[in-house]
Structure 1
Amino acid sequence: MDNKKNIIQYAIMGIFILFIVIAVLIFSGAIKVGSNTPKGVSGSVTMWGTLQRSSIEELLREFNDQNKDYTVNYVQIAEANYESSLIDALASGAGPDIFMMPDDFIWKHFNKIYPIPYERITVRDYVDRYIDGVSIFRAPTAIFALPFTVDPLVMYYNRDLVSAAFYDKPPETWDGYYKFAFETTKRNEDQAIETSAIAFGAYDNILHAKDILSMLFLQTGNGITYFNGNTLDTDISVVPVGGNDPLTQSALVFYTDFANPATDFYSWNRSLNTDYDMFVSGKLAVYFGYASEVFGIRARNPNLNFDVAVMPQIKDSASQVTYAKYTGLAVSKQSKNPATAILVAEQMAGRDFQEKLTEITRLPPVHKALLVADPVDPYDGIFKKSAFISKSWIDPNPASTSTAYETLIEDVLSGRMSVADAINDFVSTLESIIAK
């Protein structure tokens, strides 16, 4: 009798332990019970972008394996043809469900986007989750795209040239660059520049002239443009007739000063090679380029002794700012499967996918929680700090505004206009571009 009782007790205990083990496995995710996929989410969605398919193929395969109820088909489009291909495909009704959207697509193509309502992702969640700069993808009424990548502007510097001028590293604030340029720039007997300290003051031979000057404006507190309801307005100070706007004017004056041959700190002119070519050939002390350029620089000149730093700032400024290029994941208004497309965009903008993506691209993540991770290489920490303080602006038409920036710089360099008049003309041009 006792043996029978013991057997029953052992059986009950075994069943109880089995239930505990199963429960643990279920909660740990080792055993899947049903589907966690929201109702209405299924099928296949197509995503377009410019990232190399070969570099993210394994990541996409893993993503599809983990999500059995739906799949993502990625199509790589050459960057040079990306915008035109996207416009043509959407016009013919054959466009993707999701497309990688550079931040300068926002104003031109927002009418092609299926907006994500704030009921889906609240402003609080968005702000807490992502770096401040990607708020450019948010409008007052909805979200245009979910953040995907950030490529911040950083300062590359030639250690040999900098140390030859008895600097440990270039100045951290702009006010130090007049002296730095004087002590670092080298000229020949004819006063032609042989080695330059800083590539400021021109447009055609400075690869990122528009972005650099935009950054200087942003550092002074000018947003350049902003959403006013559903319209776009300029947010850069107009100088009143006979008046003065020291911050806006000083940014433009500072940029153009280094192209003035009458000064001691003259260090750049239009006859020089591009700033990038000068830097990789060891003839430019500091080069302002994007984080994504680091491996290209190394490949061009494996012997170049260079390092990276956060972009210089305005002295005693309460905030720090650098420029960045952002990419978001936008859902097409034409998508026949928007519920699935939105979920996919959410997952790819999420922490897990972002962590794996940054390992591939070697760019800093847009997800704040990942920016506090230990640096994986000597440059990673600088790139992450730069992502934290990065900003951009809503460019209404990149080609037209590039011409406006070039005109702004040339008007000052040539003496055709005063700095104040050139800024006012620039603002008027921006307003005209927006109105078109």
Structure 2
Amino acid sequence: MNKSRSLIIGAVAIGISLFILILIGILPGLNSNEPKNNPISISVWGIENDKNFFSQSADILKTEYPNFSIQYRNFPDEETYIYALNEAFSIGNAPDIIMVSNADVPKMKTKIAQIPEQYITQLQLQQAFPETVWRYDFADKNGVYALPFTIDTLVLYYNRDILGNAGIVYPPETWESLEEMVPKLTKKNATGTIEQSAIALGGTEQTVAHASDILASLMLRTGTKMVDDTFSRALFNGREGEGALTFYTKFSDPKSKIYTWNQSMPYSIDAFASEQVAMMIGYERDAQIIKEKNQNLNFGVAPIPQPKSATKAMTYPFYSGYAITKQSKQKPIAAAYLVRATLDKTIAQKYIEKLGGTPALLSLINENISSAEKSVFARQALVARGYPQIDSKEIKTIFSEMIELVISGTKNPSDALGEAQTEVNKLFARIKV
């Protein structure tokens, strides 16, 4: 009898204990506050994106978190975005995930968190994305900082009609062949004013879209070391950098055989759209702007020219990825979402379909290699190479001013390069990373 009573009492005690554990959520059960079923939301900020894409892509975590959602905030331009972002960080209320450009990752390391290796390893990153993503842009030896959906690189835009009328069958593959084409494509009136330019090169950011990026691309192509290995100072003031600057500015030097551009020319994208220039160098995103300006323009896209002596191709990237902020209170969930979304082929493809661009995922790049529309962009993504910048916006201004010093005759390329390097090093002294 005592034994039976003890068993009954024990069973009741166990039952009560289990009920309490279920009630407080330690064990799964009827409790609606079970963490897995709680509403979980992360915030994502970006520029000119599609709100519906992010809300729909939240489905990738719905198996583990049925009530997971994404609150996306879109900004119309970079200036508005950066202002809001700085305000949010200053009051400790930054979003969980933010858009960040590849060039600005070093500057942002004080504000963005590494993605833990349990979500993505360096090996997985290398197997999923082109070399520029993991070697130069979004990762270093310490870890992974951001992940992209798309990648954009400098390409050559050319007017088929202008080249055809000049008897030129193919766009230039090398810088040397481009130099040979310049006299055939440049038209001047009786006073020497350029009425048709061969290519929009040699000018500042005022007249040449992406002038500083084009110059940086030439510098990297010549082997210029842009910054030191510790990312503490600029190093581009050398023989290679001077050679690149000299070559670039020759296109706007009236005494040069390849003179074809000057600061009185229209902005390069406008000039190309209005058929005042035969060729321009730009990003994939420029194609839509050109089409909007002139729907009937007969133009093509080719890889950016390479030196004749080059054994391998190289181009310059400028694109954005997404990073988790250090202020995020949902880092594990944010990391799980970000890694799955960017590495999932189906979701990455939906991003492309909604927002355009060339995919950053290698598996999707492979599918676009033979595409008539995407082949050039896909192939260039594989040979892109950027470099870390202490402040990409400031460096753009410094490089543009460097170009102005040379083409105005104020300084020779060597002195202009030295002055620009000094200005960049002032940024290193002012901005702590």
Aligned to 1:16: none
What TM-score, normalized to structure 2? Answer: 0.84
- d(CA) in 1 for partners of 2:392, 2:71: 29
- d(CA) in 1 for partners of 2:37, 2:331: 10
Alignment of 1:349-364 (within 5 A): 349-352=342-345, 353-364=347-358
Identity of aligned residues (%): 29
Q: For 1:384-404, what per-residue CA distance to the aligned partner results, in whole angstroms no more than 9, with x for missing partners? A: 112111222222123321232
Indicate the SS of the match to 2:168: coil
Shift of 1:40: 12
Alignment of 1:10-409 (within 5 A): 43-53=40-50, 56=53, 59-60=56-57, 62-63=59-60, 68=66, 70-79=68-77, 80-118=79-117, 120-135=119-134, 136-203=137-204, 204-225=206-227, 228=230, 231-236=231-236, 238-239=237-238, 245=239, 247-352=240-345, 353-374=347-368, 378-409=372-403
- d(CA) in 2 for partners of 1:133, 1:235: 20
Shift of 1:412: 1.9
Q: For 1:319-350, what per-residue CA distance to the aligned partner results, in whole angstroms no more than 9, with x for missing partners? A: 21111212111101111111001111101211
Contact 1:40 1:340 in 2 (8 A): no
- d(CA) in 2 for partners of 1:42, 1:372: 38
Contact 2:120 2:339 in 1 (8 A): no
Question: Within the alignment, does 1:420 sit opposite 2:414 as a pair?
Answer: yes
CA distance 1:227–1:77, shift in 2 (3 Å)? farther
- d(CA) in 2 for partners of 1:360, 1:376: 21
Q: For 1:15-38, what per-residue CA distance to the aligned partner results, in whole angstroms no more than 9, with x for missing partners? A: xxxxxxxxxxxxxxxxxxxxxxx9
Shift of 1:46: 0.8
- d(CA) in 1 for partners of 2:149, 2:82: 18
Q: Could you tell me which amino acid in structure 2 is paired with residue 85 of structure 1?
A: A
Shift of 1:252: 1.0
- d(CA) in 2 for partners of 1:399, 1:280: 26
CA distance 1:142–1:374, shift in 2 (3 Å)? closer
Q: Note the aligned Cα RMSD (angstroms).
A: 2.4
Q: Could you tell me which amino acid in structure 1 is paired with residue 294 of structure 2?
A: N
Q: How many residues align?
A: 390
CA distance 1:59–1:157, shift in 2 (3 Å)? farther
CA distance 1:331–1:248, shift in 2 (3 Å)? same
Q: For 1:370-396, what per-residue CA distance to the aligned partner results, in whole angstroms no more than 9, with x for missing partners? A: 111046863211111121112222221
- d(CA) in 1 for partners of 2:143, 2:203: 39
- d(CA) in 2 for partners of 1:219, 1:416: 26
Q: Could you tell me which amino acid in structure 2 is paired with residue 219 of structure 1?
A: R
Shift of 1:419: 2.1
- d(CA) in 2 for partners of 1:289, 1:104: 17
Q: For 1:236-280, what per-residue CA distance to the aligned partner results, in whole angstroms no more than 9, with x for missing partners? A: 3x33xxxxx2x3222111100011112332100111111111100
Contact 2:37 2:67 in 1 (8 A): no
Shift of 1:86: 0.8
Q: For 1:62-102, what per-residue CA distance to the aligned partner results, in whole angstroms no more than 9, with x for missing partners? A: 54666625222211122231111111112222221111111
- d(CA) in 1 for partners of 2:233, 2:399: 17
The ranges of structure 1 where at least 4 consecutive aligned residues each deviate by more than 6 angstroms after the TM superposition are 38-42
Aligned to 2:27: none
- d(CA) in 2 for partners of 1:291, 1:312: 16
Contact 1:148 1:326 in 2 (8 A): no
Indicate the SS of the match to 2:172: coil
CA distance 1:233–1:369, shift in 2 (3 Å)? farther
- d(CA) in 2 for partners of 1:163, 1:99: 46
Q: For 1:89-143, what per-residue CA distance to the aligned partner results, in whole angstroms no more than 9, with x for missing partners? A: 1222222111111123323322111222445432222122111111211132122
- d(CA) in 2 for partners of 1:322, 1:375: 16
